[in-house]
Amino acid sequence: MNEQDIDRGMKALALVDKDVERALEELGPPPPRPRSKGFETFLKTIVSQQISTEVARVIMQRVSSLMPEITATGLMSVNDQALRDAGLSWRKVEYAKGLAEAVHFGHFDVDGLDALSDKDAIETITRLRGFGRWSAEIYLMFSLRRRDIFPADDLALQVSLGRLKGLSDKPTPKQARDMVAHWAPWRSVGALFLWHYYHGAPA
């Protein structure tokens, strides 16, 4: 989503949600957060699971240096122990090699995700070991730039939505999805704004 998409989406959301309108006046719109699409982004997703951004960056640099190019074939050529020595847990080595094999043997078509519906793309991604619904939704939002995705399992989104709506506690994922149903077809922009609000609004 670029700035134009975000601007259009925020204007639409402000018309249907007074709480968004108020918060938008206070904080302004969120900045774009684009990510590239393809194998490398999926590999980075595995590397970054449950560790800090900085640690993930360092480990990804080490892993990348083991390959002539960051591709499925390149990763398959790397010894498992070398990946472990670079900082990946054995579970993440398993996930990374599984991803590489799925792409290499044609079981997972990264480029083909563009042609799939949101639902089918999420189902395709979550068939990979190590990729849950949240990871799939994040890929659709930031790499495929789909406009109507809401990763309700994200803790920061739950907390931020609870604050925005003046709740005493954060909503459950199901409650969160129900609460933003009227944000369609701009739920990706709404999610982006909630992360913005999480960092900018008082607790």
DSSP structure class, residue 95: H
Distance, in Å, from the CA atom of 184 to the CA atom of 4, rounded to the nearest integer, reads 17
Other C-beta atoms closer than 10 Å to the C-beta of 121 total 21
The closest alpha carbon to 57, from 69, 48, 65, belongs to 48
Alpha helices for 30-185 (secondary structure H): 39-48, 53-65, 72-76, 80-85, 90-104, 118-126, 133-142, 155-164, 173-179
- C-beta of residue 185 within 8 angstroms of C-beta of residue 195: no
- Residue given tokens 């609004």 in the structure block: 201
Nearest 5°: CA angle at 46, between 43 and 47? 85
Is 178 annotated in the active site? no
Of residues 80, 85, 120, 154, which has the active-site annotation? 154
Kindly list the catalytic residues: 154
